Amino acid sequence: MASTARSLRYALAILTTSLVTPSVWAHAHLTHQYPAANA
């Protein structure tokens, strides 16, 4: 039971990371490319 919960939590962490990382990269890229838009 604990093994299943741990696997589920691990999968959730992977999913969250894969969703968050591209948006962070896109935001950083846009901010770097267009500094005026961030002001």
Local confidence band at 5 (pLDDT 50, 70, 90 cut-offs): very high
Predicted confidence at residue 13, as pLDDT, reads 96
**How would you label 17-32 residue by residue, b for 16+ Cβ within 10 Å and e otherwise?**
eeeeeeeeeeeeeeee
The model's pTM is 0.51
Predicted confidence at residue 9, as pLDDT, reads 96
pLDDT tens profile 13-35: 999 999 999 888 888 877 766 55
Judged by DSSP in three states, 1 sits in coil
CA atoms within 13 A on the CB side of 6: 3
Judged by DSSP in three states, 34 sits in coil
Predicted confidence at residue 6, as pLDDT, reads 94
Judged by DSSP in three states, 10 sits in helix
d(Cα 38, Cα 28) in Å, to the nearest integer? 10
